[in-house]
Structures are given as C-alpha cells and as structure tokens.
Amino acid sequence: QVQLVESGGGSVQAGGSLRLSCSGFGYRPHSYYYMAWFRQGPGQEREGVAAIARDGSTSYADSVKGRFTVSKEYAKNTLSLQMATLKPEDTAMYFCAASLNAVRRPLSGSQYNYWGPGTQVPVSS
C-alpha cells in the first residue's frame, strides 16, 4: 500500500539549509517512473520543484536549480530533497508525489498518482 508522508519541514532562516524526506512508497524506488517534489506557497498555485526518473535523471524548476537536490535513498526506500541557500520565496507547503505510469512532464502535478499530505517550510528573512 502506498501512503506517502513527508518529514523534515520546519522554520529556517534565509540562507539556511533543510532536508526533506518522503516515505511510505510501498513499492521500491525503481518501480516508479517518476518521484517528485511540489510546493504551494501562500496564495500561489502548486508548482513542481524537482523530479527524479526511474533511471536517475532529474528535472528542476528554474527557481531552485543549483540550490535544491532531489535523490532516492534506496536502502531506506525514501525520497529526499536537499534544500540549500533558502530564500523567503521558498516558503511553502512541500509535497512529495510519485507515479507508477509514464510521465511526459515531470514537473506537472497532473501526471502523478500518489501524494503526501505535505510539510510546511517557512523561510524567514
């Protein structure tokens, strides 16, 4: 059974780092075509942040390139998002997602079957 749950969120100051984790995949990481992170800031629409394909290739939103790193932790069967040099505009609820089906647009939320409830990341200036 797939029940995604995020952890690692919390308040952080601008310039700081944070690592989010997502567990509860049920299937092993290589079973998923794509695993991804999305976020939704206050008054904003949900946006794709980072995604990782079955073959390990990654996609990032322009706003986080060079600062965020998505990875699969095979031993723990988890998905991680390492966030560095955080900015106030990174403040959002962060969600992990996964798809057992082929995905054409990795940073589009409509492509994913499974979602976690989210974890809050407030970044203060």
Contact 70, 1 (CB under 8 A): no
C-alpha closest to that of 24 among 95, 107, 108: 95
Digit-coded pLDDT (tens) for 62-117: 999 999 999 998 888 899 999 999 999 999 999 999 999 888 999 999 989 999 99
SS3 at position 60: strand
pLDDT value, residue 74: 83
Cross-strand partners of 55: none
Average pLDDT, the chain: 94
Query: Nearest CA to 87 among 39, 16, 38?
Result: 16
Q: Is the pLDDT of residue 28 over 80?
A: no
Question: Is pLDDT at 1 greater than 90 in this prediction?
Answer: no
- Contact criterion met (CB below 8 Å) for 37 and 81: yes
Nearest Cα neighbor of 58 from 106, 103, 18 is 106
pLDDT (mean) for 37-44: 96
Q: What is the pLDDT of residue 99?
A: 94
8-state DSSP, 100: S
Identify the residue with better confidence: 15 or 111. 15
Instruction: Indicate the length of the chain as a whole number.
Output: 125
Position 35 scores a pLDDT of: 95
CB atoms within 10 A of CB 42: 8
pLDDT at 95: 98
What number of other Cβ atoms are within 10 A of residue 70's Cβ? 21
